Amino acid sequence: MPHTLDKISPYLPFGDRRDAPFYGHDILSVNQFNRDDLRYLFGVAHEMREMVARVGCFDLLKGKVLANLFYEPSTRTASSFMAAMQRLGGSVIPISEVRYSSVAKGESLPDTVRTLECYADVIVLRHPENGAAALAASYAQKPIINAGDGTGEHPTQALLDLFTIHEELARVEGLTVTMLGDLKYGRTVHSLARLLSLYNVKLNYVSPGILRMPQEVKDEVSARGVAQYETSDLSEVLEQTDVLYVTRVQKERFEDPAAYESVRGAYVITPDTMRAAKAKMILMHPLPRVGEISMDLDSDPRAAYFRQMEYGMYVRMALLAATLGKA
């Protein structure tokens, strides 16, 4: 069912806040959110953060069941949704062996989600193919939350990235955000750039020439009047940066190994790099990292990448509560 329509759960017909934003909605794409939506979601996520700090969990979603349907492995994302549901008192059906299951027997995604929604109240879906989440949502009666489909969308990652900035720096308006590394293939930075373009920010893109931010993303961002600047030299923009978002530059992207070797050093962040950065800024990474950020930086208070993981749990708690009408 399109995410603009409510999906009315047959479960718990009373007690749900049907008038709540996102009640019964699918979460498919960053493009479905406006600033009011984000203000609402981040408000709920912030409450979740305080609640976890105070009491660890509560029974907001007691009696609700989440099907965590992962067609490709992602320990981090699957664990985050699982913890989010459990800390709200709900329970989880983890399905991560899809390759051995009825799907392997040839079952279609629409049939699989329509079976799972017989058991569960909400489905989190990770799938290797672009558009899989929208396809699933068009068949499912219960909300579908896209946990990444191919090179397409991974909206909860973008939401947690933005929420991290919001919580760490207390605002988004007016910030300078620098994205570094592989900006061509990383869906993370594409989605984050789109979300940030809802705000009055400045975006810097630092990458090797062959790994630049796609024109399509830049066009969308500039259509919203957001200033963008491209360079392959971090030092040009680091001093002004409030958020440095690092992604991995993979050797495989380069035809010529020598070309890779010549640039790789420029995309590894060390304590030395950070000397030129502001005292009050944050260093982010979607993780896992494989050498892009030196472990020597882990104790730097600006290193926000592990806190970023924790914010992810709060955002997912907010999304689960909201789609189930309990936020």
Residue numbers at the binding site for a second copy (CB under 8 A)? 10-13, 52-58, 62-65, 67, 73-76, 79-80, 82-83, 86-87, 91, 93-98, 100-107, 110-112, 114-116, 118-121, 287-290, 295, 306-307, 309-310, 312-313
Q: Please, which residue, 99 or 224, has the CB nearer to a second copy?
A: 99
CB of 51 to a second copy, least distance (A): 10
Q: Which is nearer to a second copy, 16 or 129 (CB)?
A: 16
**For residue 14, what are its two tokens?**
């009373």
Q: How far is the CB of 97 from a second copy (least distance, A)?
A: 6
Task: Give the separation between CA 25 and CA 142, rounded to whole angstroms.
Answer: 8
Write down the least CB distance from residue 27 to a second copy, Å. Answer: 19
Nearer to a second copy, 63 or 131 (CB): 63
**Least distance in Å: CB of 83 to a second copy?**
4
Torsion of CA 158, 162, 164, 169, to 10 degrees: 160
Between residues 32 and 74, which has the closer beta carbon with respect to a second copy?
74
Q: Determine contact, residues 90/67, Cβ cutoff 8 Å.
A: no
* Least Cβ distance, residue 86 to a second copy (angstroms): 4
Distance (Å, rounded) from C-alpha 15 to C-alpha 163?
A: 28
Bridge partners of residue 146, in order along the sequence: 125
CA distances from residue 224 to 60, 117, 198, 217, 313 in whole angstroms, order as listed = 37, 38, 7, 11, 30
Taking a C-beta distance cutoff of 8 angstroms, is the pair 121, 11 a contact?
A: yes
Cβ-based nearer residue to a second copy, 279 or 290: 290
- Backbone dihedral angles phi then psi of residue 203, each to the nearest 5 degrees: -115, 130
